[in-house]
Structure 1
């Protein structure tokens, strides 16, 4: 008689569960019996499962609040469950100030205190990392005065696109050392007169430390350049793309070495409507960009290219797929995670008299790197869409860790 599933060796059962196509399937399997649940909730197993199944798009957050994916988007059921179970108004945090989402990683949100119109805001913003699903949070301690004083005096007042703090994912080695996937690291950048001073907070130590400063004179371009607005993360590096149509490059920050560099974009007639860096798999970088007709054409195309990292074509970008967006309206790459991008489509702004009238409604569309399909997320009023937008992508609520 053939062995039952319960009699399979643990290693074989692990390989079977790892190959379940969706996180919901793993959640249902974990409810079958205690043995399945022990395996499905093991930290090392979950790390392997996450490597094989990239977190999918669930929602996005801007200053208008939490915007879940709506039907017919395939993530709509999970997004609806998340929206009903979580608190994305962050009402469980101390109410002495207003909190603004600064970054999102692995289902957690990095919040920064809104200092409004303070005449002299602090050099280092007050920060908190929270788990909206389980309404838990960690208030980061202030950066010690001794570390701030080591940056430079008089106090730095310069601000730039890299001024926003960064919430980092832990490497596999770090996660294994911690024994948990709940740890986190935050980097806060301080812009000084002659250098950029990074301060690093680790949840494992609960303390800030100073990283090696980076001199402005040693950088290829200044991260204070306002043209560098959009930020993306892939393979341990952060990328800022430029809205300057003449600047065909990306500003890159290598987190391990804490060094800035420049990466060239493929010469494909990119306009000012945004590019996005993603992880294409096997260590390769993927690039989404919009060709907006500035090279003489009239139609808008969303293009996806992959950069080779091996062989004689190493370093070269190869076009993989092109999506026709049509000639009418406005198309804009708004945000990106490691494996998906968020696109805005709307009617073109209208000039009425001397004023520019923006469209009433915006259509948000997600594109997953694996499926390479345009999927409608929602339609929302223009509102505060010009604010920074962050994608919320993680596993469904039933697999979320109970703590951060």
Structure 2
């Protein structure tokens, strides 16, 4: 017993700045939570706001589940985030009952523990070009109603394509990159972009919670983006950005047209607020989905199903840096279980969400969902559901409801 007390006293004699460096290197939030329970001095250090900010910057938010048309689907055992996901499901409100009830709310995007929703009027034909938006934190049950887009900005938008009934607008949250996150003092600040797909051009508006205001940031004609390619201009007009898959890496958003067999990527650089076009790597990429990620050293990485192979996931890395890479190299082929059809349903800065169904029975079959860590390439089963839900999926990542969890709004 005396030896135990002596050992404990030696640990607590370590200077706080050295102890902080040790605790920052713990691999997972759960390890930090256990360490904080060891003694009062550990707890005091770990709960310090400055320490927690540093820990959250060094460690990726764990994937706790995903949301789809059926609601929130938490990670189940044996997924490594299962216990944290259970605590989240008990504490959070993913039915959003704490939001104002004057309209119905539909999820548009999820990013860094925040959820973006837009309001739906009772009658579909009354849906305006710019709907009411709210950003909320379902874990801490907080929300912010965004101000409407000013009339002068709304008036600058050309009328959406008359061939499409619904206005082609898409709002989404902007992740903070490492430099911005390091410079951010307030952890509750956020930015979102509202894109409008018009018949002849693309427009974008930005809202910053710091200023509380909307501003117009970008507009580009389809004919300029396509550099005179008439066929692409027609294709872009007929298939709005609203329906495209969105990717994010190094301060740029990317949209792919694989579902209509085009190898073009639409790019929005959020630093310059400029639209441009880029090409996919050579080869036949499957409409089962792809994910553009950060491969390190400023280079883009791309996960996808190549040349129609359903049992192997290809990982290709750009050899040159930049938002429009021109040289790609196959890095790895990740073998998947045969007899299944895989789809990439969503991606964040650290994880892929894969859907798997049996190829022999696609209707009313068991649908399984897996997470893949893009750093380690580890594949972990999240959960399983009956039938194939084709609606969009949004990964939810956050620190679990514990000492690491702080309000994002």
Is the shorter-chain TM-score for this pair beyond 0.5, marking a shared fold? Answer: yes
Does residue 109 of structure 1 match 2:115? yes
1:360 is aligned, of 353, 356, 365, to 365
The 5-angstrom pairing of residues 262-281 of structure 1 reads 262-281=277-296
Does residue 137 of structure 1 match 2:167? no
Aligned to 2:252: 237
Q: TM-score, normalised by structure 2?
A: 0.84
Q: TM-score, normalised by structure 1?
A: 0.85
Aligned to 1:301: 312
Aligned to 1:118: 124
Please list every run of 5 or more consecutive structure 1 residues that lacks an aligned counterpart in the other structure.
351-356
Distance 1:249 1:196 in 2: 16
The 5-angstrom pairing of residues 322-401 of structure 1 reads 322-348=333-359, 358-382=363-387, 385-398=389-402, 399-401=404-406
Which range is displaced more, 314-323 or 369-378? 314-323
Distance 1:349 1:251 in 2: 35
Distance 1:91 1:269 in 2: 45
Secondary structure in structure 2 of the residue aligned to 1:71: coil
Aligned to 2:298: 283
Give RMSD over aligned pairs.
3.0
Does residue 402 of structure 1 match 2:407? yes
The 5-angstrom pairing of residues 213-224 of structure 1 reads 213-220=219-226, 224=237
Secondary structure in structure 2 of the residue aligned to 1:15: helix
**1:389 shift after superposition:** 0.8
The 5-angstrom pairing of residues 157-306 of structure 1 reads 163-171=169-177, 174-175=180-181, 178-220=184-226, 224=237, 225-226=239-240, 229-244=244-259, 246-291=261-306, 293=308, 300-306=311-317
Q: Is the 8 A contact 1:229 1:241 kept in 2?
A: yes
Distance 1:335 1:161, change over 3 A: farther
Which range is displaced more, 277-286 or 61-70? 277-286
The 5-angstrom pairing of residues 39-118 of structure 1 reads 39-42=45-48, 44-115=50-121, 118=124
Aligned to 2:3: none
Secondary structure in structure 1 of the residue aligned to 2:139: coil
Distance 2:352 2:70 in 1: 19
Distance 2:345 2:375 in 1: 19
Distance 1:137 1:145, change over 3 A: same
1:93-136 deviations in Å (ceiling 9; x for gaps): 11222212111111111111234652241111211111111111
Aligned to 1:354: none
Distance 1:320 1:216 in 2: 34
Distance 1:403 1:78 in 2: 18
**1:209 shift after superposition:** 1.8
Distance 1:74 1:264 in 2: 37
**1:12 shift after superposition:** 2.2
Q: Is the 8 A contact 2:339 2:360 kept in 1?
A: no
Distance 2:63 2:111 in 1: 12
Distance 1:31 1:161, change over 3 A: farther
Distance 1:46 1:317, change over 3 A: farther
Aligned to 2:229: none
Please list every run of 5 or more consecutive structure 2 residues that lacks an aligned counterpart in the other structure.
1-5, 227-231
1:30-70 deviations in Å (ceiling 9; x for gaps): 44566545544455544433343222221010111000111
Distance 2:147 2:360 in 1: 44
Distance 2:130 2:315 in 1: 37
Which range is displaced more, 74-83 or 185-194? 185-194
